[in-house]
Amino acid sequence: MNSGVLNIVISLGAMQLARKIPFEDPEVLNYVRVGYVVVQAIVLGVYYYVSLAIKKKNDQTVLKYVEPASPMSGEEPKLVTTTVRDYDLAETSKLLRSAYMGIAMMAVMHIYFKFTQPLFIQSLMGLKTLYDAKPVAIHLLGKPATGELKRPFKTPALFGPPTGPQTDAAAIAEAEKRVGKKEE
């Protein structure tokens, strides 16, 4: 099943389950709060460990790909040349920023607006996101970087094939020609 569709199914199921939890009971609410904090600490700890594992491996294999231009920008796709180490660290950094943003939004929703159900739902979704993270699959679970885990990572679309950078030789050669013409 597609990851985006699975996220929706888990969210809807968690919402139905959260309706049955008595959040008005202070003891139950405190357990949910502790659960949320523990899950977020696990997520942040795993991302930190993965970044240490990436730095320890220090894979200096060159990685070239063509990053597609953002839609409606009028820009041309750009050639990116990096190493596997730097690419994996950048992807882990994106995951960390996403986790921090989620924690900040949840703090505002819970502390300021007094929403309690999202604490429970985001605890489950945090674990699901951790399991789906490609750097975690490669560096922690030991899966080979082939197929869906091949670098550069494709972005899964909700419907249709995944999208992402182009890695074929023709696209890279075209981008190199464009870059060479601009430098002259």
One digit per residue, pLDDT tens: the chain, 184 residues?
Answer: 677 888 899 999 999 999 999 999 999 999 999 999 999 999 999 999 999 999 999 999 999 999 888 777 778 888 999 999 999 999 999 999 999 999 999 999 999 999 999 999 999 999 999 999 999 999 999 999 999 999 999 887 766 677 788 888 888 888 888 777 655 4
What gap in Å lies between CA 61 and CA 181, rounded to an integer?
27
Residues facing residue 82 across a β-bridge: 63
**Segment 62-65 long-range contacts (CB within 8 Å, at least 24 positions apart):** 63/87, 63/151, 63/152, 64/167, 64/172, 65/152, 65/165, 65/166, 65/167, 65/172
Single pTM value for the model = 0.89
